[in-house]
Amino acid sequence: MTEDIIITEKTNPDTIDIDISTSYEIARMINNEDLKVAKKVSENLDSISKGIDLISTNILKGGRLIYFGAGTSGRLGVLDASECPPTFNTPPELVLGIIAGGDKALRYAIEGAEDSIIFAQKDFNKLNISDKDTVAVISASGNAVYVKEILKLAKEKNVKTIAVTCNPKAEILKMADISICVETGPEVISGSTRMKAGTAQKMVLNMLSTGAMVKIGKVYKNFMADVKPTNIKLKKRAVTIVSQISNCSYDTALDVLQKNGFKIKEAVIQILYSKSYRDASKILNDNNGILRNVFKNLK
């Protein structure tokens, strides 16, 4: 009977006495378990890189990345999607995070959400998903009815899929085009997959979305070349980025950015090639928004 228990639900022998431990010992136990996560993620780099290539290829065709999940996994998908617009200046619809039970489920547990075929069908159908899109399902156990139904619906529409789980026996691993299984083992608190499993899934989603954004030209070197400066901190970052790439003074970068509405890539072209904002925009557009292409073609 024990063998049928999902690995993330098993009892962790290293934390069996956590309830009678000191606060320091509790923190150490959790930290010791967390140290195992990055290594387990590293064992999946081949599958993760395939996911990055799939997502970036589909985005360049006009598609979207759409995360689906329930509970903690769903929240992580929504979080990753919501961070793409400010970080990479992407339109909100380019990367979407859908959680079973709707936005209310972000704050409250929705009874039966992860077991609902109806929720899955409703969420999938309202997005008009096409074969240009990439669907990524996230589930620690990998057996939630909601995500399995999403994969089934995607297959019917010839949509490419990615599965992210922490259970090597997960059913979704056999259903997706690309399978990523980070086997994090039993949790500090048995079954509390918001912990190691959640950390692992967050790391994987960071790699998938960030890797895809790098591939489509949203990053120059390791600068956020498309960051959306929505506050004072980000505006200062934009000025620093332009100053470093253009090898100009902070004041020069600030002046150009203030005049062009804080468009980083255009500002770089304006400064380096003495172009107007209008000309810089055209040059950038002609080079698919990729600064390296601009520098290569305007030597």
CA atoms of 135 and 67, how far apart (whole Å): 6
Q: What is the pLDDT along the chain (299 residues), one digit of tens a residue?
A: 345 678 888 889 989 999 999 999 999 999 999 999 999 999 999 999 999 999 999 999 999 999 999 999 999 999 999 999 999 999 999 999 999 999 999 999 888 899 899 999 999 999 999 999 999 999 999 999 999 999 999 999 999 999 999 999 999 999 999 999 999 998 989 988 999 999 999 999 999 999 999 999 999 999 999 998 999 999 999 999 999 999 999 999 999 999 999 999 999 999 999 999 999 999 999 998 999 999 999 87
User: Which pairing describes strands 95-99 and 65-69: parallel, antiparallel, or unpaired?
Assistant: parallel
DSSP label at 223? Answer: B
DSSP H helices in the chain: 23-42, 45-60, 71-88, 117-125, 145-156, 172-175, 196-215, 232-246, 250-260, 264-273, 277-286, 291-297
Residues acting as catalytic residues: 83, 114
Answer yes or no: are the C-beta atoms of 237 and 224 closer than 8 Å.
yes
Answer yes or no: are the C-beta atoms of 87 and 227 closer than 8 Å.
yes
Every domain of the chain with CATH number 1.10.8.1080 lies at: 232-297
122: Cα separation from own chain's centroid: 23
The third-level CATH classification (topology) of the domain covering 232-297 is Helicase, Ruva Protein; domain 3 (1.10.8)
The two three-digit tokens of residue 271, written as one number: 């400064």
CA atoms of 140 and 114, how far apart (whole Å): 12
Q: Is residue 288 left, alpha or beta, with left meaning phi > 0 and alpha meaning psi from -120 to 50? A: left
Contacts of 174 (CB under 8 A, 6+ apart): none
Q: Which CATH class is domain 13-215?
A: alpha beta
Every domain of the chain with CATH number 3.40.50.10490 lies at: 13-215
Task: Rounding to the nearest 10 degrees, give the CA dihedral for residues 115, 158, 85, 256.
Answer: 180
Total length of the chain: 299
Question: What is the reported pTM?
Answer: 0.91
Q: Which of 243, 244, 245 is nearest to 257 (CA)?
A: 243
Specify the amino acid at residue 202: K
Answer yes or no: are the C-beta atoms of 200 and 183 closer than 8 Å.
no
Answer yes or no: are the C-beta atoms of 196 and 71 closer than 8 Å.
no
Quick one: angle between helices 145-156 and 117-125, nearest 10?
40
